[in-house]
Amino acid sequence: MFSDFDYAFKTIISHEGNYVNNPNDRGGETKYGISKRSYPNEDIKNLTLRKAKKIYKRDFWVASGAPLMPTKELKILMFDIGVNHGTSRARKMLQESLNLLNHNQELFNDLVVDGVIGKNTRFAISKIKKPHYLLLTIVAKRMEFFTTIADGSNQEAFIRGWLSRASSFV
């Protein structure tokens, strides 16, 4: 039986490719989503899928906040954002999205967007009655972030793929 992590890893890998070394990619050499920029001591070209899975579990699964999410879809989304944008940004997008959903409902005090999933953020997560709305809000924040990255830069070539990746979660 697949664990939530195994299922999420399978989903993430479907978005990540094999070995690439595109000069316009800020990550540099990349394989299975593991970049030379982030892992300068790894032999990226010869990285195995098994080693990539260990890196993902060790460095991204828990750190992104994925295990705290109330649904499998949100777990996968948070994990994917952590892999794609960094775990701190994933947690901040979560907090910003929780604040947006809370705006008219006042279920909890607005969260400080600090990227720390402490008791206040966990409490806010528990108050969300429609997790799919949280998922949609996070995806919208992510699309906004992608657009900001691409706007007027050499990263614009990647925007279609990025937006397709983000929209695959809804």
- Predicted confidence at residue 152, as pLDDT, reads 72
Q: Which two tokens stand for residue 55?
A: 């890196």
| List of residues 6+ apart from 14 with CB closer than 8 A | none
Buried b (16+ CB within 10 A) or exposed e, 79-88: bbbbbbbbbe
Give the model's confidence band at 68: pLDDT under 50 very low, under 70 low, under 90 confident, else very high: very high
Q: Where are the domains of the chain?
A: 4-167
Domain 4-167 in this protein, CATH class = mainly alpha
- Predicted confidence at residue 15, as pLDDT, reads 87
Average pLDDT over residues 41-49: 96
| List of residues 6+ apart from 86 with CB closer than 8 A | none
Q: Which two tokens stand for residue 102?
A: 């809370």
